[in-house]
Amino acid sequence: MIASDTERSHRRHSPFYEPKIQTLPREQLTQLQWQRLLRQWQRIWDTPIPFFKRKLERAGVTRGDLRSLSDLSLLPATTKGELRDSEAEHPPFGDYRGAPPERAVRLGASTGTSGRPTFILWTPKDLEVDYRASFRARWRWGIRPGMCLANAHPFGINAGGWHFSHGIEGLGILNVPSGPPGSEEEIRDVLEVWRRLRPDTYRLFGNVATRFVEVAEAYGLDPARDLNLTLPGDHPREQYAMVSSGLEALPLLGSACEERDGAHVAEDLAIVEVVNSETGRLCGHNERGNLVVTVLEKDNFLFRYDLEDIVRWNERPCPCGETHRRLFYEGRARDIVKVEGKALLPIDVALVLYEFPEISTPSAEYQILRPSPPLQSLHIQVECPSSLDTVTLAERLSERFRACHGIDTTWSFVPRGVVPRFAYKATRVVDVPAAQLAAK
């Protein structure tokens, strides 16, 4: 769905890419969700979609059990493990697809970090839905047709590079898909392109941007002057600018508006629930829970799919005027570390570290060591300049952590450059035997 020139010029001065739908009164929005949900529900039973129909029937659910939007949360959620089993039993694509696989035009795969990767298929219509949501997301960031954007997304089978690039190009932006930093020579070639173009804006991740800047400076370039590149803040709060979940739902989960207080979800295209994984109940404003998504307008849709990510709602009306609710992305469910009955995520650690500029400038590089079996204190390894008094630093960090989270922490400090760097998403939680930590 590529916007025409006329459409673009109409929109150019609006804060919204699709003003009407993005500012639809809540009542009308939920009515629209209900109509669209019902359509997907009927497809499960009529097409039928064997996996979902079987799953619902096994849970004793019948077609008549979905009578209103609020009934949705009573129905069983779908896990990645179930999709994986379906693909194993009905190779290669499983029997949960809403459209025949031969209608698909693109394939992606999940990362496989929690088991065998599952496949994602897009029909042309599915791509249109994703791009439409992407256009809204980029528009919120002030990106407009005619601009030039350089991005360093990886283009692998499980990365969002293709999706991101098409979502940029369809909006009428000059996209410069530069790829993650490779060898020094490759980086130099990319820097030369950037120097000639001076892109209006960049989309780089924390470590990626740092690497490009380091090499640029080593070659005598001033990144701000010569490349129009300033290091994007890699403060952990930047994580809240968009919801970086699985590609099955990513574009629909939107981006933050200028209020920067959570990412506006495309609620006309997906029903998002935040669910307490232990009780199954829906979480309210500001309460952390699992991200569960029902995709509305796609051929290949997922019904109550638990993306194994942790999010929380900002349910306050947004001053920007957009009526679709906002979501904070907190991290991956598998990165939860439990200490003394509390469930912590890397962002909890990062937010404390960034209160200490002496270890978070230009970036805080850390890993949480997750012992098995669990210990009574949270073990954190963090890079620290050799000039610092680590005994005092550990005391101050521990005190601050106790004040914020009510738990004990144990710190180990390592020289700058020791914690592994990642081109895409950093691994912040490392599993270790408890005996290894107890010996420290």
User: Which residues of the chain form contacts with Zn ion (CB under 5 A)?
Assistant: 257, 259, 318, 320, 322
Shortest reach from residue 24's CB to Zn ion, in Å = 14
Contact 321, 262 (CB under 8 A): no
In the bound state with Zn ion, the residue whose beta carbon lies nearer, of 260 and 396, is 260
Task: Give the residue from 301, 307, 306, 247 showing the smallest Cα distance to 126.
Answer: 301
Closer residue to Zn ion (CB): 87 or 268: 268
Question: Is 82 or 322 the residue whose CB approaches Zn ion more closely?
Answer: 322
CB of 216 closer than 8 Å to CB of 229 = yes
Distance from the first to the final alpha carbon of the chain: 57
Closest approach, Cβ 326 to Zn ion, in A, equals: 7
CA–CA dist 186, 211 (Å, integer): 12
Instruction: Indicate the residue among 169 and 259 with the shorter CB distance to Zn ion.
Output: 259
Q: Are strands 408-414 and 377-383 parallel, antiparallel or unpaired?
A: parallel
Pairing state of beta strands 289-295 and 305-314?
antiparallel
Distance CA 285, CA 330 (A): 14
Least separation in angstroms between residue 324's CB and Zn ion is: 9
Q: How far is the CB of 129 from Zn ion (least distance, A)?
A: 21
* Choice between 28 and 361, CB closer to Zn ion: 28
Give me the least distance between CB of 294 and Zn ion, in Å please.
23
Q: How far is the CB of 435 from Zn ion (least distance, A)?
A: 49
Q: Which is nearer to Zn ion, 216 or 257 (CB)?
A: 257
Residue 412 falls in which region: left (phi positive, over 0), alpha (psi -120 to 50) or beta: beta
C-beta atoms surrounding 38 within 10 Å: 12
